[in-house]
Structure 1
Amino acid sequence: MDVLMIKIRALFIYFLLIVKIISQDFGIGVINSYIDEIPSSTNFGIMIYDPLSADTLFAKNSEASLIPASNIKLFTTATAIDLLGKDYRLKTVIGSTDSNFTDGSIDGDLILKGFGNSLFTEEDLDSLVNVLVNLGIKQINGNVFGDDTFFDNIYSRDDWIVDEKANVSLPPVSALILDRNGFIVSVDANKSPGSKVGYSLKPDIDFYEVDNSAKVVKFRRTPRVSSRFTENKISVRVSGGARQRKFPYSYILYADNPTLYAAYTLYDKLVKNGIAISGTAGTLQEEAILFDIAESTTSLSEIIPLINKNSDNFLAECLFKTLGAYYSGKIGNSFYATQAVMNYLEENEIPEFYDLSIVDGSGISRFNEVTAASISNLLEKIYLNVDKYEFFKNSLSIAGIDGTLDRRFRRSKLRNNFFGKTGTLNGVTSLSGYLETKSGKEIIVSFLMQFKEKGAGYHKDIQDKILEYLWENY
């Protein structure tokens, strides 16, 4: 009887294996038929993996080094969760070189110091000023400084990536951030033709010097607006013609010196709240001993979904330099940030991580190169970590629901069943994430594609057809 049962079990296992092999072969054939639609000029890598069974369901050119575009954000955010923890708080601190805040005056410099808090706004700054007002501060016997020393002072990606040719506009990346380091210029052309245009600026501070020569015209024209920062003012120029219309033209101008911009804004708000200042507004040249008065913070758990769901490049680059500062214990720069990511990949045994090229946190650079296999391995490590998986998965765009996949799968079977990160540059489309299949299984997919013909939409359709087939049949 025991021998008979053993034989029956053996036959049953054999039957299951045969069914599985036939099933997998059938699936591979269908997937290959979709891949045959990819133009021969397209370089691509694909990896489909079951993390529970540790089976590679399909792989094609999965070790090919390709431009990932915004899929690089998966590396940035995964490293941040591991190194900092999702509850880590990014700070903006107001403090002083004077330790006594109780006598109505600050006998020293007032300093606004940033620690990579990329969501810090004018409203948050108002809250910090209100703390000073409520403390009864009436006089500052010193200067008002912005302190950006947590990061380096290389604000432009073009300056830290040699021969960078990215054509994606990005605000200056700094440790001290105010309203994404931009201010708004509104131009009013609701006037008679020939009249000078009106204008307004936000935030409304007294450090602007505006040269306005733009006039209202009848024909189709838009005004030109530019700015330049000096040691004691923000020079704004409005020129050209503005076609007459009822609603204003609105421009966001980036502060080429974000630290000085924050200091100017803080100084202005202090004065308008009745606090006299003996000195000027400026930037701190070297780190000072700071006695904290108040702080404004943002949790990493709030920032990471904005990066992964909405593919926010600015937030990603600020977080990238934060990783560098935390990892090195010295300063946030691109070199230390890359070292932080590479160290994370090494510690988590991502195969051949040393062959990857990661030069920024957003994926804007075309010098980034990774493989579909490395992304799949990264997502597997997170999947197997029960403390991090749910948060990370839900930080990704949900098919047909939110983020960059909001409209892509609204009427698809994949709606609410795929959690992914998109990537888009000229000639590049990528998609990686977690697929929950019809049968309740979870699999990892990664598509990296660099194309010269047919366009992004055509290649996305192939990705979608493979995902829909997997959802239905695995």
Structure 2
Amino acid sequence: MPPARALPIAARRWLTAVAALVVTALAAGGSFALGALVPEGELSEGSLAPEPEVQVADSGRVVPATMPVPLRIRTCSVAEASLNEALGDFSGVVVDPYTGDVLFSRASEALVPPASVMKIVTGAAALAVLGPEMRFSTSVLATDDPARVVLVGGGDSTLSRLATGTPSVYSGAATLQNLAEKTIATAQAGLPEGERVTITEVVVDAALWPTEDAFDASWSRDAASNGFISRVTALQVDGDRDNPQVELSKRGSDPVRRAGDEFVKALRAAGNAGRYVKVTVGDAPVEGPVLASVESPPVSDLVRYMMKESDNTLAEMLARHVSLAQGAGGTAASLATVIPSVIAGLGLPPEGIVVQDGSGLSPLNQVSPAFIALLLSEVARGDGPLASLRQSLPIAGVDGSLDDRFIGTNTIVHDRVQAKTGSITGVRSLAGFVTGADEEPLAFAFFAQGTVGDETRFAIESLVTAVYRCGSNLADF
């Protein structure tokens, strides 16, 4: 009797798979139609059926309509970095801005003073209400006396007294020189040949919003002298800086008067024949014809500068414009209701914020880390007016208030972090976005309170770097 011929390797594998399938089905009360699997004739490599059909009898078992999604177990912790004593009383949160998943949370619902992280809220409100293309006009109106004109402030704190083409801290700012030249040209066109424009009085009108609440009582008393903010008036030049080319230049005590005096100088340079020009404060005539006007850069540019350089005056000016646009009169007090209302319209809960000002200088402002993370998530997902807000954030190691931050071992996140800094007495904060080492985007909001200083700032940056290393594998333990 001839020896048995061994089956080809492929055939042996097929039989093994079928045997396992039969055992499994029989154990479950099922049966097979084997005839459909094995062709007539000798079993060989080339005779295997490509798609074996398995028929499992109904055993009465409950089978889920859909298979459950596997649960991801995250394993990377930043607990050690978050427990750094330099962080003082720490609160913070990290979320996936697209799914809403909370990856890390420490007292994230607690209300804390945000410092300049508040500017994220103000910027979002300005873009949502005013729109990125809106501009603010400064005008000169004629009166029934050709020797008297009215300079009307339109709430543009970037208006510059420097010569056109000479840069101030505000790129693309309108200038008093241009406004004065237009004023003289228009006035001259209405005069007989040979007669010169002679303006002897300039009335300055800053009544777009009240001037009585131009400096919040909760702000540091030396904020102006230290160059942090000007008085919030609807008419001023260069943010009322003594030096228009220095961001933290000392601010004055009467920005409206300074603007009037500088306009008189610009009129003289443009050809005004009046030897002595009086500056008075008053209201513009209701129907006074416009002799000339100039416009600010668009809101998108103003928000960008405010965010990059943490410009407090711009923040307050934008907040007042939001109030005006919402019919609340532009008062400082109105911000407490107007700003939360606007942000609530974006889908955020109003209980996560208390507003005292638009800049974050006041310690009376309150936000929760969770609230800021939700707002950042809206920014990340938005394709409307809020879309430009993310690009307005300072970039670590590149520009704005983060250009010299994240040093030493934290340089690894240069170009990877876009965030708003914050610093007032007793508070250090940082909130924005970090692209993880795994290229996944995350939103974060970190706040440290108590005895804080440079070591606190470094500790926050180190925590952000730890989040970067974990990426989407960040775990909340």
Q: TM-score range by the shorter chain?
A: 0.7 to 0.9
2:302 maps to a residue whose letter is: I
Name the counterpart of 1:182: 241
Alignment of 1:311 with 2:310, yes or no, is yes
CA RMSD of aligned residues (A): 3.2
Alpha-carbon contact 1:434-1:443 (below 8 Å) kept = yes
Post-superposition offset of 1:295: 1.7
Cα 1:63–1:252, aligned 2, differ >3 Å: closer, same or farther? closer
User: Secondary structure in 1 aligned to 2:446?
Assistant: strand
Post-superposition offset of 1:136: 5.5
Alpha-carbon distance in structure 1 between the residues aligned to 2:199 and 2:437: 68
Which structure 1 residue ranges, 5 or more long, are not aligned? 99-105, 185-201, 204-250
The 5-angstrom pairing of residues 20-31 of structure 1 reads 20=72, 22-23=73-74, 26-27=75-76, 30-31=77-78
Alpha-carbon contact 1:35-1:462 (below 8 Å) kept = no
Alpha-carbon distance in structure 2 between the residues aligned to 1:275 and 1:316: 35
Name the counterpart of 2:117: 71
Post-superposition offset of 1:280: 4.6
How high is the sequence identity, in percent, across the aligned residues? 22
Post-superposition offset of 1:253: 5.7
Alignment of 1:61 with 2:107, yes or no, is yes
Cα 1:2–1:375, aligned 2, differ >3 Å: closer, same or farther? farther
The 5-angstrom pairing of residues 324-363 of structure 1 reads 324-328=323-327, 330=329, 332-351=330-349, 353-354=350-351, 356-363=353-360
Alpha-carbon contact 2:231-2:255 (below 8 Å) kept = yes
2:432 maps to a residue whose letter is: G
Alpha-carbon contact 1:107-1:142 (below 8 Å) kept = no
Name the stretch that deviates more: 367-376 or 420-429: 420-429
Alpha-carbon contact 1:47-1:59 (below 8 Å) kept = yes
Alpha-carbon contact 2:201-2:280 (below 8 Å) kept = no
Number of equivalences: 387
The 5-angstrom pairing of residues 121-270 of structure 1 reads 121-122=160-161, 123=163, 124-135=175-186, 137=188, 138-140=196-198, 143-154=201-212, 156-157=214-215, 160-161=216-217, 163-165=218-220, 167-169=222-224, 170-183=229-242, 254-270=251-267
Alpha-carbon contact 2:124-2:386 (below 8 Å) kept = no
Alpha-carbon contact 2:214-2:233 (below 8 Å) kept = no
Cα 1:49–1:109, aligned 2, differ >3 Å: closer, same or farther? same
Q: Residue by residue, what CA displacement relative to the aligned partner does 1:221-280 show, whole Å, maximum 9, x if unpaired?
A: xxxxxxxxxxxxxxxxxxxxxxxxxxxxxx966442222222222223323444244985
Alpha-carbon distance in structure 1 between the residues aligned to 2:419 and 2:311: 15
1:179 maps to a residue whose letter is: D
Residue among 107, 129, 142 paired with 1:96 = 142
Cα 1:392–1:164, aligned 2, differ >3 Å: closer, same or farther? closer
1:54 maps to a residue whose letter is: G
Which protein is richer in strand relative to its size?
A: 1
Q: Residue by residue, what CA displacement relative to the aligned partner does 1:329-362 show, whole Å, maximum 9, x if unpaired?
A: 63x22122333211112222322x2452211111
User: Secondary structure in 1 aligned to 2:367?
Assistant: coil
Name the counterpart of 1:189: none
The 5-angstrom pairing of residues 291-310 of structure 1 reads 291-298=289-296, 299-310=298-309
Alignment of 1:394 with 2:391, yes or no, is yes
Alpha-carbon distance in structure 1 between the residues aligned to 2:316 and 2:70: 48
Alpha-carbon distance in structure 1 between the residues aligned to 2:465 and 2:203: 56
User: Secondary structure in 2 aligned to 1:302?
Assistant: helix
Name the counterpart of 1:468: 468
Alpha-carbon distance in structure 1 between the residues aligned to 2:423 and 2:235: 29
Name the counterpart of 2:19: none
Post-superposition offset of 1:52: 1.6
Alpha-carbon distance in structure 1 between the residues aligned to 2:278 and 2:55: 89
2:115 maps to a residue whose letter is: A
User: Secondary structure in 2 aligned to 1:324?
Assistant: helix
The 5-angstrom pairing of residues 379-418 of structure 1 reads 379-409=376-406, 412-418=411-417
User: Secondary structure in 2 aligned to 1:335?
Assistant: coil
Alignment of 1:371 with 2:368, yes or no, is yes
Cα 1:377–1:283, aligned 2, differ >3 Å: closer, same or farther? farther
User: Secondary structure in 2 aligned to 1:66?
Assistant: coil
Alpha-carbon distance in structure 2 between the residues aligned to 1:293 and 1:71: 41
Cα 1:95–1:53, aligned 2, differ >3 Å: closer, same or farther? same
Which structure 2 residue ranges, 5 or more long, are not aligned? 1-52, 164-174, 189-195
Name the counterpart of 1:221: none
Residue among 117, 131, 147 paired with 2:156 = 117
Alpha-carbon distance in structure 2 between the residues aligned to 1:36 and 1:144: 60
Residue among 8, 13, 17 paired with 2:70 = 17
Residue among 79, 82, 90 paired with 1:32 = 79
Post-superposition offset of 1:462: 4.0
Alpha-carbon distance in structure 1 between the residues aligned to 2:400 and 2:153: 28
User: Secondary structure in 2 aligned to 1:445?
Assistant: strand
Alpha-carbon distance in structure 1 between the residues aligned to 2:318 and 2:55: 63
Alpha-carbon distance in structure 1 between the residues aligned to 2:362 and 2:120: 15
Cα 1:130–1:428, aligned 2, differ >3 Å: closer, same or farther? same
Cα 1:274–1:108, aligned 2, differ >3 Å: closer, same or farther? closer
User: Secondary structure in 1 aligned to 2:294?
Assistant: strand
Alpha-carbon contact 1:358-1:367 (below 8 Å) kept = yes
Q: Residue by residue, what CA displacement relative to the aligned partner does 1:70-95 show, whole Å, maximum 9, x if unpaired?
A: 00001111000000001110221122
User: Secondary structure in 2 aligned to 1:360?
Assistant: coil
Alpha-carbon distance in structure 2 between the residues aligned to 1:126 and 1:2: 87
1:17 maps to a residue whose letter is: P
Alpha-carbon contact 2:395-2:417 (below 8 Å) kept = yes
User: Secondary structure in 1 aligned to 2:121?
Assistant: helix
What TM-score, normalized to structure 2? 0.73
User: Secondary structure in 2 aligned to 1:444?
Assistant: strand
Alpha-carbon distance in structure 1 between the residues aligned to 2:230 and 2:55: 73
Cα 1:456–1:402, aligned 2, differ >3 Å: closer, same or farther? same
Cα 1:458–1:275, aligned 2, differ >3 Å: closer, same or farther? closer
Post-superposition offset of 1:127: 0.8
Post-superposition offset of 1:172: 2.0
Alpha-carbon distance in structure 1 between the residues aligned to 2:232 and 2:55: 71
